[in-house]
Chains A and B, each alone.
Chain A
Amino acid sequence: MLRVGGHSITKKLTRMNMLVSGAALLLACLAFVAYDVLAFRQAVVHNLSIQAQIAGSNSVSALLFNDPREVEKTLSALKAAPNIVSALIYTPEGQPFAAYWRDRGGQAPPLPAIPTGQTEAHWFKDGRVVLVHSIVFQGKPTGIVYMQRDLKDINGRLAQYAGIAAIVLLMCLFAALQFSSIFRKSVADPIVNLADLARTVSRDKDYSVRAALTGGHDELATLIETFNEMLAQIQERDGALQKAHDEMEQRVQERTAELAATNKELEAFSYSVSHDLRAPLRGIDGFSLALLEDYADKLDADGKDYLHRVRAATQRMGILIDDLLSLSRVTRTEMRLEKADLGLIARSVAEELQKTQPERRAEFRIEEDLGAFVDSHLIRITLENLLGNAWKFTSKRESACIEFGRTQRDGGFTYYVRDDGAGFDPTYADRLFGAFQRLHDKNDFPGTGVGLATVQRIIHRHGGRIWAESAVERGATFYFTLMETRHRGA
Chain B
Amino acid sequence: MILLVEDNADDEKLTLRALKKNNILNEVVVARDGAEALDYLFGTGAYAGRNLSVMPEVVLLDLKLPKVDGLEVLRRVRADGRTKLLPVVILTSSNEENDRINGYGLGANSYVRKPVDFNQFSDAARQLGLYWLVLNEPPPARRA
Contacts and interface: CB of A to CB of B under 8 A. Distances in A.
B103 to A, nearest CB: 13
A371 interface: no
Contacts of B64: 275-276
A270 B92 CA distance: 15
Interface in B89-144: 92-97, 114-119, 121
Contact of A278 (B96, B116, B119): B116
B94 A275 contact: yes
A289 B119 CA distance: 8
Contact of A271 (B8, B94, B114, B116): B94
B11 A274 contact: no
A270 B99 CA distance: 13
B96 A280 contact: no
B116 A290 contact: no
B17 interface: yes
Given A279-B8, A286-B10, A286-B14, A318 B93 contact: no
B132 to A, nearest CB: 21
Contacts of A329: 97
Contacts of B97: 329, 333
Interface residues of A, number: 26
A281 B116 CA distance: 6
Contacts of A287: 10, 14
A83 interface: no
A279 B95 contact: no
A314 B121 CA distance: 14
A283 B10 contact: yes
Nearest to B119: A289
A397 interface: no
A329 B96 CA distance: 9
A285 interface: yes
A282 interface: yes
A315 interface: yes
Interface in B1-48: 8, 10-11, 14, 17
Nearest to B9: A283
Interface in B57-103: 63-64, 92-97
A283 B118 CA distance: 8
A392 B31 CA distance: 45
Given A274-B93, A274-B95, A278-B93, A318 B119 contact: no
A257 interface: no
Contacts of A311: 117-118
A322 B95 CA distance: 9
A274 B63 CA distance: 12
A196 B112 CA distance: 76
Given A285-B118, A314-B116, A318-B117, A274 B94 contact: yes
B117 A315 contact: yes
A315 B14 CA distance: 16
Interface in A221-257: none
B17 A280 contact: no
B96 A274 contact: yes
A289 B10 contact: no
B10 A285 contact: no
A236 B18 CA distance: 77
Contacts of A270: 96
A81 B80 CA distance: 142
A325 interface: yes
Contact of B114 (A278, A315, A322): A278
Given A287-B10, A290-B17, A282 B95 contact: no
Contact of B116 (A275, A285, A325): A285
Contact of B11 (A282, A289, A314, A325): A282
Interface in A258-296: 270-271, 274-276, 278-283, 285-290
**10 tightest A-B CB contacts, nearest first:** A318-B116, A283-B10, A286-B118, A286-B14, A278-B93, A289-B118, A275-B93, A285-B118, A281-B116, A275-B94
